A and B are shown apart, each in its own frame.
Chain A
Amino acid sequence: EAGVAQSPRYKIIEKRQSVAFWCNPISGHATLYWYQQILGQGPKLLIQFQNNGVVDDSQLPKDRFSAERLKGVDSTLKIQPAKLEDSAVYLCASSLSTGRSEQFFGPGTRLTVL
């Protein structure tokens, strides 16, 4: 069974530029999560989808971050414009359902904002 796929693996941009990350979850997983992990910290949930609907986006900085999961399968996370403090690893995870269903993580995208 294929795991969670993410691309790109690494991205370097200048501040105020835009960037987009892509995630393809495990087939059949209804729930998809985007996390931000800043160096030296644990992952922090940015947004959670159930199929193509948003379950929780309370910690998403909506003035610059956006995410979508239009067909309830793959998802994109966008930052526009990027700030220096957005430098982090962006992890995508998926699970069969919400609640305490086990989350499976992709390898992450390491973003550096200069």
Chain B
Amino acid sequence: DQQVKQNSPSLSVQEGRISILNCDYTNSMFDYFLWYKKYPAEGPTFLISISSIKDKNEDGRFTVFLNKSAKHLSLHIVPSQPGDSAVYFCAASATSNYQLIWGAGTKLIIKP
């Protein structure tokens, strides 16, 4: 039972354009959401998070949008740069135990 789903295994975007990565969740108890970035042979690194009391959080080129009614969040990267090529994981947690539940990841490829 996948509680966090990233339905696109990969995404290819032209350098300088917007990258949009999507994530859906099924557990209505989730109230905190995170995006992690992972380069090959390295561990994931935290990128940006959002609490369920907000619908948008912005940090530089990265913006996360949360649509609670649709149980959907997205990560926007503008403009996309070659260094953004990585696997992006969406994760969620609930206040009940704070355990992170992860999606399967989306591999983002930025084309020159």
Q: A residues near B, CB below 8 A? A: 4, 40-45, 48, 56, 91, 93, 98-100, 102-108
Contacts and interface: CB of A to CB of B under 8 A. Distances in A.
A41 B42 CA distance: 16
A99 B93 CA distance: 10
Interface in B79-100: 89, 91, 93, 97-100
Contacts of A98: 98
Contacts, number: 43
Contact of A44 (B43, B93, B98, B102): B102
Nearest to B44: A105
Interface hub of B45, B99, B103 (most chain A Cβ within 10 A): B99
Contacts of A56: 97, 99
A107 B44 contact: no
Contacts of B43: 4, 91, 93, 104-108
Contacts of A43: 44, 89, 100, 102
Interface residues of B, number: 19
A86 B100 CA distance: 21
Contacts of B46: 102-104
A93 B104 CA distance: 18
Contacts of A48: 99
Interface hub of B44, B45, B103 (most chain A Cβ within 10 A): B44
A103 B32 CA distance: 14
